[in-house]
Each structure stands twice: as C-alpha cells, then as structure tokens.
Structure 1
Amino acid sequence: MDSARELLAAERQQALRRLAALTGDFDDVVAASRDSNADDEHDPEGATIAFERSQVAALVLQVQGHLAEVEAAIQRLEGGTYGICERCGQPIAKARLEARPAARTCISCASAAR
C-alpha cells in the first residue's frame, strides 16, 4: 500500500499544481477583461474573453473534481477500503489502480456502468 500512497500523493500534488496554474490563468483572463474596453463580444478575430473565462472555469471545476476523487481515495486507503470495488466488493486490479489511482470500481463494473 506504500506504492498506492505514493501514487495518490503524486496525483494530489499534480492536481494542486494544475489548479494553481488554472487559477492564475483565470485571474489573468479576468484582469484582461477589466483592463480592456474593447467590444470583444463582436470581435471577429477570435475567442472572446467571456469564452476564455468560461473555458478556464470549466477546467478548474474538472481539476477540483479530480482532486476530490484523489482525496476520497486517500481516505479509503486510510480506512482500509482502498482497492476494493464499491459496486461488487471485489479487488480492483493492480494495473487499474496504477493507471487510475483514485478508481472506485473494478474494470468490469466501470464497463457495465457505461
């Protein structure tokens, strides 16, 4: 389980770094919209500031969701239920946990849920 702990810690750190970078990007987009008096909604040259802000906000939500999944996996690890499928109760394959350390279900249950 030490390798699982290391994988989850690395996933958590990566998510936190990504979140910090995206938050900085979001702040930059907001600052750009504040400093600009251009009518970007009708600018034929490309994406609007509102569109960029929306994209960054969606990415922030995605990373926050992943971070919550990783933190839940850390709690399962501490509680002794990490690596057990939440749907069927069988062990989750080691290869799946290496690929997706925060996985809650085995491959069979994940495939059936689709």
Structure 2
Amino acid sequence: MDPSELAEHRAVAASRATSLARELESLAEEQSLTSHDDEHDPEGVTIAVQRAQIQGMLAAARRDVEDLDRASARLAEGTYGRCAHCGGPIADERLEALPATTTCIGCANRTRRRR
C-alpha cells in the first residue's frame, strides 16, 4: 500500500468521525428541546440510547484515525507491512482489508486462540 492509499483510508475515517460528531451534537440539541424528564418521556429513552450508540461509533472512528496515523508513521519508518510479533510480511490482502493492522494472519490467529 502506498502513502496515498493510506491517506485515503484516513480521510474516510476522519470524515466518518466528523459526521458522527455532528450527529451527536444534533442529537444533544434535539434532546435539549424536549422534556428533561427521561423517565416519563418515551422519546427520552430512545434519544439516550441513540446518543450512546453514536458515542460508541464516534469513539471507534477516532480510534481508526489514530490507528491509521500510526500506520502512516510505520510507512515513513519503513516498517509498514511487517508483523509486530514475528517480523514477517503481512499479506497485501490483509493490508487492503485492514490497512492499520500490525500483525500477520498467523500471529493474529494465535493471539485470538489464547483469549
């Protein structure tokens, strides 16, 4: 993967994070216009659940951006595409699917089995 492809993945993740942050702000604004008594307001519970879901998705999108920033740093260092565990190459197909990954499929499977 070249730097421009990695930058494109990062731009998509950053755009997703920005969009989710706006959605969260909009939901907070909507909630401020409704009753503050969530216990007795049927919409209050729905909005609270929506807010929690969006907060989770936003946190994941921000982690993706951070992971892709670290991948860009590895690319600049010349270590991108090398497994952090065994030092072997990470398959191109795996990097296409998970551009920020730090492990080859063999090490990822071994780690998963230990859990």
The TM-score normalised by the length of structure 1 is 0.89
Task: Note closer, same or farther for the CA distance 1:46–1:31 as it changes in structure 2 (3 Å cut).
Answer: closer
What aligned pairs does 1:74-93 form with structure 2 within 5 A after superposition?
Answer: 74-93=72-91
**1:94 aligned to 81, 86, 92, which one?**
92
Q: In structure 2, what is the Cα distance between the partners aligned to 1:67 and 1:41?
A: 36
Cα displacement string for residues 15-73 of structure 1 (whole angstroms, at most 9, x for unaligned residues): 11101110110001100111112644344568522211111111110111111110000
Q: What secondary structure is seen at the aligned counterpart in 1 of 2:86? A: coil
Q: In structure 1, what is the Cα distance between the partners aligned to 2:39 and 2:78?
A: 52
Q: In structure 2, what is the Cα distance between the partners aligned to 1:85 and 1:60?
A: 28
Percentage identity across paired residues of the two chains: 39
CA RMSD of aligned residues (A): 1.7
The TM-score normalised by the length of structure 2 is 0.88
Runs of 4+ in 1 over 4 A off after TM superposition: 43-47
**1:52 aligned to 47, 50, 53, which one?**
50
Aligned residues: 112
2:35 matched residue in structure 1: 37
What aligned pairs does 1:3-42 form with structure 2 within 5 A after superposition?
Answer: 3-37=1-35, 39-42=37-40
